[in-house]
C-alpha cells in the first residue's frame, strides 16, 4: 500500500544541504530505498510503500539532525545511513556518526559509519585486547589505526606498534629480491598508507626514526615485552597458531592490542591452522578480551565493493550446495 508523506525542514539553508546540489542527495535516497521524492521549497514529499516511505522519512530527519549538529553529510554517509536504518529503525545516527575518533592532518574527522564500527570503537576504549573479524573494507584496520594515533596524541600510549605476517600465499622472504626492508615493505604497505592518511608524511617519518612508531613483520615481536603501547596485528588470519600465541603473550602493562583479520581469506598452507580462527574458538570466554564481528553490510568502501563481496559469497554458497 502506497503512502504519501510530507516532511518540512525549518532551516532553509540546511534543507538545501540535505537535498544536495540539484537534489542529488534526495535522488540517492530515493534510488536506494525505492520511493519517489519530490520537493517544494524546504518541504519534501515522499511516495511509496508504507515501510519504505517511513524509512525514507527516518533517514531524512536523522540526516537533517546531523547537519543541525554541525556534521557535514557526504554522499557516502547517505548510503551508510540507509543501510543502518534499514537494519534497525531505532538506531540514532548521531550516536554513531558524531563519535569522532581522530581529526586527520587534513582536518577530516574519522568517525564510525555503522553500528558494528561504533561497537568496535567502544570496545577499543574499554578493553585491552580487541579482535575485529570480518570482510575487507569494513574499516577494521583503519579505525584501529585512528584509535592508535589518537591514543599517542593524547599521551595514552607512548608508542604505536604495527605488525603483520610477512609470509603470505606460500612466499618465503628469502626468495624475494632486496634487503630485509625491501622484502617486508610490500606486506606492510597498507599500514603505511593508513598512517599517512592520518598524519603528515614528515611527522610519520620523524616518529618512525625516533622509534615512537614501529612497523614490522610479526617475527620481530618474538622475545619482546611491549609496555605502554598501542599494538595492531593486521591480517591476523595469516598468522600460525604459534605466531598468534607468541604475539598475545608479548602484551605488557598499560598496553592495548587490536587484532584484525578476515577468516574467509586465509592464505596459509592447508595443513596449517590459522591463529586467528583458533583464537576465536578458544578466547571468547576470557574477560577483558572483546570480539567484534563485521559483515558485508559494514563495508565502507566504494559501494561496488559490497556488491563484489556478495557476488563471491553467492558463488561460494553455490559451490558448497
Give the pLDDT of residue 182: 56
From 142, 161, 131, 124, select the one nearest 274 (Cα to Cα): 131
Find all residues with CB under 8 Å of 99, minimum gap 6, and list them: 111, 112, 118, 121
Give the closest residue to 242 by CA, choosing from 282, 284, 279, 275: 275
Q: DSSP letter string over 287-320?
A: TTEEEEE--GGG--S-HHHHHHHHHHHHHHHHHH
pLDDT at 1: 60
Q: What is the pLDDT of residue 179?
A: 47
- DSSP, residue by residue, 113-178: -SHHHHHHHHHHHH-SEEEEE--TTSSHHHHHHHHHHHHHHTTS-SEEEEEE-S--TT--GGGSSS
Q: What is the pLDDT of residues 183-193, one digit of tens each?
A: 556 667 788 88
pTM > 0.85: no
3-state helix, strand, coil in the chain (%, to 5): 50, 20, 30
Where the chain has pLDDT below 70, the residues are: 1, 167-187, 301-303, 321
Amino acid at each position: 500500500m502506497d503512502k504519501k508523506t510530507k516532511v518540512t525542514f525549518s532551516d532553509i539553508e540546511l534543507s538545501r544541504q540535505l537535498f544536495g546540489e540539484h537534489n542529488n542527495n534526495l535522488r540517492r535516497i530515493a534510488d536506494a530505498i525505492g520511493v519517489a521524492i519530490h520537493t517544494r521549497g524546504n518541504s519534501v514529499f515522499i511516495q511509496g510503500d508504507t515501510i519504505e516511505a517511513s524509512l525514507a522519512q527516518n533517514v531524512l530527519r536523522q540526516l537533517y539532525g546531523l547537519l543541525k549538529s554541525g556534521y557535514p553529510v557526504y554522499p557516502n554517509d547517505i548510503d551508510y545511513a540507509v543501510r543502518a536504518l534499514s537494519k534497525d529503525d531505532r538506531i540514532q545516527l548521531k550516536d554513531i556518526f558524531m563519535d569522532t575518533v581522530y581529526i586527520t592532518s587534513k582536518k577530516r574527522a574519522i568517525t564510525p559509519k555503522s553500528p558494528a564500527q561504533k561497537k568496535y570503537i567502544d570496545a577499543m576504549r574499554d578493553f585491552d585486547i580487541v579482535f575485529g573479524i570480518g570482510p575487507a573494507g569494513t574499516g577494521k584496520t583503519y579505525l584501529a589505526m585512528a584509535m592508535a594515533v589518537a591514543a599517542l596524541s593524547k599521551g595514552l600510549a607512548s608508542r604505536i606498534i604495527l605488525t603483520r605476517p610477512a609470509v603470505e600465499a606460500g612466499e618465503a622472504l628469502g626468495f624475494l629480491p632486496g634487503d630485509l626492508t625491501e622484502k617486508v615493505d610490500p606486506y606492510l604497505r597498507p599500514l603505511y598508507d593508513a598512517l599517512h592518511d592520518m598524519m603528515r608524511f614528515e611527522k610519520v617519518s620523524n616518529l618512525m626514526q625516533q622509534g615512537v612508531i614501529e612497523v614490522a613483520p610479526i617475527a620481530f615481536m618474538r622475545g619482546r615485552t611491549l609496555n605502554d603501547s598501542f599494538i595492531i596485528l593486521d591480517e591476523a588470519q595469516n598468522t600460525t597458531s604459534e605466531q598468534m600465541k607468541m604475539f598475545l603473550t608479548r602484551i605488557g602493562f598499560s598496553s592495548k592490542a587490536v587484532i584484525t583479520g578476515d577468516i574467509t581469506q586465509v592464505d596459509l598452507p592447508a595443513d596449517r591452522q590459522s591463529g586467528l580462527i583458533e583464537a576465536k574458538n578458544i578466547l571468547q570466554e576470557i574477560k577483558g578480551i572483546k570480539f567484534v564481528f563485521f559483515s558485508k553490510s559494514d563495508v565502507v568502501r566504494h559501494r561496488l565493493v559490497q556488491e563484489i563481496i556478495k557476488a563471491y559469497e553467492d558463488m561460494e554458497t553455490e559451490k558448497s550446495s
